[in-house]
Amino acid sequence: MILLLFSAGVGPTASAFTLTGPGSGTVGVSAGPFSVAPNNPLGQSETVTITGGGTPIPDTLTFAGGSSAAQTFTFTASVPGTVLLTASPSPALGNPPTLPFTAYAPTVITPATVLPVIVDDDLMQAIRAFWSAAVITSPVAAVDDDTLQAIRAFWSKS
């Protein structure tokens, strides 16, 4: 008689997390998704806190013991430049992963950047009508009052 014994083996448990996502974005605009994942199933529950030069949403990710699934977050940079996003697990599990993220200032287009252009009266009337009705009275993008007044003044003089 041959007796075979088998035991349910337990595979390797996580020794670190990975952090992936876009490397750049625009200040004030949500970027993502970013992903945090253990490199194997977790041996215990872990809480990962996201930090670095802006606002991550959510800023804390909770992983259950045994989980190997990735979780995601978005990030909104607060100033132009390169920041280092960090995903710090607690309790500590390997070195916290980091990801450089470059935030670019938003591009601002003003009438001065697209002029001078020679236009006839009909085209100028069409431009005035467009700016005064469609954009100036209900802007699609956030424009502060001073900029709005400057645009109105520019187009009313042209």
Residue 155 CA to residue 158 CA, distance in Å, equals 5
Q: Which CATH architecture has domain 17-104?
A: Sandwich (2.60)
Q: What is the pLDDT of residue 139?
A: 43
Closest CA to 55 of 80, 81, 37, 29: 29
Q: pLDDT exceeding 90 applies to what percent of the chain?
A: 55
Residue 130 has pLDDT above 50, yes or no: yes
Q: What is the pLDDT of residue 153?
A: 74
pLDDT tens digit sequence for 131-149: 665 444 444 455 566 666 7
Tell me the pTM: 0.64
Q: Crossing angle, helix 121-129 and helix 145-157, to 10 degrees?
A: 160
Q: Identify any residues that bridge with 26 across adjacent strands, giving them in sequence order.
A: 104
- Boundaries of every domain in the chain: 17-104, 111-157
Residue 16 has pLDDT above 60, yes or no: yes
